[in-house]
Structures are given as structure tokens and as C-alpha cells.
Amino acid sequence: MSAPPALPPWADELRDRYLAGEASMFLLHGNVRDLFPWADGDGVVQWLPLGRFLEAFLSRTKEIVVAYNCSEGLEFASPGMNPRFARAINARRSLEGRDPVKELPRSANKVLPLLEDLVTDQTQSAAVVLDYVETIVPAGELSFMNDADKANFVTLQRWASDPALLQSDNLVILITEQLGDLQRRVVSSAQLHAIEVQLPDERGRGGFLREQDLDAVGLEMGVEHLARHTAGLTLVHLRGLLRQARQSGDAISYRTVTRRKKAIIEQECHGLVEFLDPGHDFSHVGGMAQVKADLMRVADAVKKGHRNRVPMGLIFVGPMGTGKTYVAEAFAAESGLTCLKFKNFREKWVGSTEGNLEKILQVVDALGYVLLIIDEADRSLSSGSEGDGGTSSRVIARLKEFMSDTSHRGRVVILLMTNRPDKLDTDLKRPGRFDVKVPFFFPEADSERRLILEAQCRKNKLELAEGVTLDQAVEGTAGYSAAELEAVLLAAAGNASAADRLALTQEDLDSAVADVIPSRDLRMLQFMEMLAVFEASSRRMLPERYQAIETDEVLERLDLLRAALGRRAG
């Protein structure tokens, strides 16, 4: 018989801190809707939801274990605890000259005072579990709370500051998925200790899989490989994957897991992130030889496990249309990193934005070997905006904290893309968080534009008719961005399609060059280009004309362009 599973790390921490007398109130958050292993007296392992796990865990040492949520009211770990609870609180009420409780209430503002009588009683040995505590003290300003919410808030604050609770043999456990959903003052209470329930690691997933009946499940890989490949999934997700395989009769393959994992994590993050499956690598990227060489060194370090050679983060800077997103996706393909892209995680509700970011970072940390792309970072991570209640500063502070964790080096690479790096917090951009800043520019020479046009033909599977060359397209597109060069080719493809031809003729290309109008906002493009020069972390990545330029001259040009642009540069 295999050894019974050890307690989850969060349960170990809770037990140790409680026994040491550090705290009597705990807040469990994170992966609290998962399954957890519990071995009964006969050594039989069961995988229990958190509520039932806590009942079994706490009933070993507590005479009364009572749980409460707004939907189901008060529930006890065993039938005998209900009358014991009634006797305990009525004895206390009798001593204080209050009427006895004849029927247990259901509303939180009436239940909490009864639980307070229990947990502050020095003669009791009890545990109280408040699940979905965000429904009892939701996030929000006190001035907008109704009287019942204020009463609940004051009660929990009183518990957190009552020395009688710390000195007793009682404890209180609050449960919520996201800290941002909970009243901030409750979270910051001095005697309340928050513990994050992490997503299961590879060992935890493997232990769960080995306890399951896999006879009726077709596996195209071993249990160890399945455990490794399902990083980022909860045990509930794994159970669903196995059930679906049993029902359908289809074997679980790497592709099945990847597809299911993508759907689950996008759903779990409520549309906050998008899985990207790049269909191109650096062979489809024309020009930018030095940039590709430097990024390929990083990709090789990732693949070879040289984590100390992998930057904590990358910033792609440069004008729009210079291929930042395209190169980022190619880098993901070359490095083998799972590619996630931030979607809009900002919301108008208090605490929601921070909660969304926390959810994303939790998933990223659990997945490991992730390239997290944040596009238009100057908008989503700006250094602050008036009237946002400090949300921007809290978001940046949390991201800084995440990036300062050196255990993420080589496992999580955050890639910011922006054409306005001047709007990002200066401390966020420092080395140690973003070690490499890659500048992007419009193609400088005819040879670069030719390489880009050839790469775009391969990417878009465009065929040139016999005898057709790109010479005139190269000559006629000086000053065009990579995106505009692609627009020329797509316009030529449209001309060919209109004439019911598959291959592009010289006339199709020449007509497209004459028709497509490049960006005319030259002053803004020059401003963004100088910002890229200023931010670049390596001279060798700069065009030759900028490699010898001094910082003072860059700043002088930026000041002149900023003055010319006026409010548009603000």
C-alpha cells in the first residue's frame, strides 16, 4: 500500500502558524474550489472539496466545527456538533442575561454574532469556516455599504482585533477565490493571516492520476508525462478530462490535452488571456538580422534550461507597424514557450482589476515556461491616471512584485510591447525586471524591404507569376513599415483575385504600390522612433545612423518633437 499523501502546503502552514500562536484567523484564497487528498483512518485516500477537507482536518482536534455560507446557512461537521453548539452559545447568553436562541438564523448579520459568542469563549475548542466570505463583506467603499454589510464588516474587524480569540483554543477560517473581491480593510487586519492555495504542482497532479481508475481511459502517454503536460490545470479539470475520455472512448493525446487546456484556462481567466499558437518562426521574418540573432540566443537558453541566461522580461519598442507582435509570436515559436496574451483586464468595479491581474499571474505561475505578451502596455500599464482610485499604481506594484521573484527567471518571460514607452513607470522598465529592450524601426535599406516582402509572400502563400520580380515594389516603397509592405502584397493579391488569377503579375504589384498610401503622420512616427532609440538596451540593435548618437542629442530631439506635437505627445 502506498504511503498516505502529505497535507497540502497551505494546510501545513495554517497548522504551524496556529500552533505557534501567530494567528487565529486565516484567509484562504486562490485555488479554493479544487480537490484535496485526505486519508481516512483505514488509509483510504479520498479527494475532497475544500469544505469537506476542512471538516475532516479540523474535526481531529476541535469539538465543534461549523461552516457558514449565505446560501446553505450553518452546517456542522457531524450531527452531534449541532446540540453542542446550541448549548455553548446559550450557556454564554444565559450568563450575560440574554435570551436563549431557539432556532438558528440564516442571514449573515444574525449568524455572525452567534459565532462570535462561540469563538471568543475561552472554554470552547471550536473552528468556524466562513465560505464565500466576499458575499458577507464585499469589496467597496464603506459609504456605499448598506447597514447589514457594515454590521458584518464591523463584526469581522472586531474578531481580528479581539485578544480573547487569539488566547482561546478557537480559530476562524475565511475562504474566497480572489482577495480583490473582499473588503480591503478586512484583508489588511493585523491578526488575519492570508494563505494562498496554489494550483497543484506536477507531483500533486501525478499523485491524483495514480489514484484514479485509468483502465477505461486510453492514454497516448504515461501518467508522468500527462502530469507534466497538464501544468496549470486543477484536479477538478483533470477529473473532467478523464471523465470525458471515458465517455467518448477517445484516447487522451498531447493534442487533446493542449486543446482542452487552452479552453479551460481561457475560461478560468474569464477571457482575460488568449492562448496564441504561432504559425510562423524567424524564417518568416524578413530583415532585422541583429534583433533575430539576439532573440535566438534567448530562445536557445530557454530550450537548453540555462535559466540564468534568460532575461526576466523583454520590452519591444518602436512605431506602429514595425512588426513587434509578429516577431514576438515568432520568438514564442522558436523558444517553445507557451504563449499567452493579455486581453483587457481592467474593469470599473473596485478591486476587480487587481483581482483579474492576480488570477492571470496565478495561472502563469502554475503553467511555467510561459511567454506572457502585454500589447499596448502604455495603455494597460500606464503609470497612473487621475480618478482611477489608485488602481494603476496597485497594478504596477503587483507586476513589479511578480517580476522581482527570481524563481520565475527562465520559467516566465514577460514581454511588453509599446510605441510609447515614455508613458510606462520608470521603475518598471529598469534592468532586473526588463533586462532587454528591443527597438523596432522601419526597414532602412532596399535589401531589408526585399527580405520583408519575400517573407510576407511565404507567410501569406502568395505566388509570383513567371518573370515577375519585386524590384519595382522595393524601389517604390521607401519609408514603408513592415505592415505597409504586407498591405501592398495583399492589395496585389486582391488585384489578382479580381482578375481570377492565382499568381501575381507585375501589373498587380505595380498597381498596388501606386495605390497603397503609407502613414502620413511623419512627425509622430519620428517621435516614436526616437523613443525607441532612447530605450534601446544595446547599440548593436540600432540602425547604423543611430549607433553613435549620444543621449543628450536624443533627449534634445525628443524635446523638439514633443513641443511640435503638443498635446498629442502628452
pLDDT for position 289 = 86
Q: What is the pTM of this model?
A: 0.70
Least confident of 95-99, 253-257, 341-345, 363-367: 341-345
Under a CB-based contact definition with an 8 Å cutoff, are residues 345 and 379 in contact?
Answer: no
Q: What is the C-alpha separation between 502 and 496, in angstroms, rounded? A: 7
Question: Where does the pLDDT of residue 1 fall: very low under 50, low under 70, confident under 90, or very high at 90 and above?
Answer: very low
| The pLDDT of residue 37 | 93
SS3 172: strand
Provide the grid cell at 64: 465543534
So what's the pLDDT on residue 5? 66
Report pLDDT digits (tens) over 403-447: 888 888 888 899 999 999 998 888 888 888 888 999 999 888 888
Q: 16 is written with which cell numbers? A: 504551524
Condensed to tens digits (0 to 9), the pLDDT of residues 263-303 reads: 877 777 766 788 888 888 888 888 888 889 999 999 999 88
182 - beta bridge partners? 138
Residue type at 156 in one-letter notation: L
Between residues 428 and 129, the one the model is more confident about:
129
With a cut of 50, say whether residue 144 has pLDDT above it.
Answer: yes
Run of H or E including 414: strand 412-418
What does the CA dihedral 8, 10, 11, 14 come to, rounded to 10 degrees?
A: 160
Q: What is the pLDDT of residues 55-83, one digit of tens each?
A: 999 999 999 999 999 999 999 999 999 99
Look at the block and give the residue holding cell 500562536: 21
Q: Rounded to whole angstroms, how far apart are CA atoms 310 and 235? A: 31
- CA atoms of 339 and 299, how far apart (whole Å): 13
The residue among 305, 254, 295, 298 whose CA lies nearest residue 411 is 305
Mean pLDDT lowest among 174-178, 457-461, 507-511 = 457-461
Residues 6+ apart with CB under 8 A from 334: 281, 282, 295, 296, 299
What is the per-residue DSSP string for 215-252?
TTS-BSS-HHHHHHHTTT--HHHHHHHHHHHHHH---B
Residues 496-534 pLDDT 10s: 999 898 899 999 999 999 999 887 788 898 999 999 999
**Can you tell me the distance from the alpha carbon of 439 to that of 532, in angstroms, rounded to the nearest whole number?**
5
CB 76 within 8 A of CB 64: yes
Q: Where are the alpha helices (DSSP H) in 120-194?
A: 147-161, 163-167, 184-187
Q: So what's the pLDDT on residue 77? A: 93
SS3 85: helix
Q: What's the 3-state SS for 109-129?
A: HHHHHHHHHHHCCCCCCEEEE
Question: pLDDT band for position 493 (50/70/90)?
Answer: very high
The per-residue pLDDT for range 208-237, each reduced to its tens digit, is 999 888 888 888 888 888 888 888 889 999
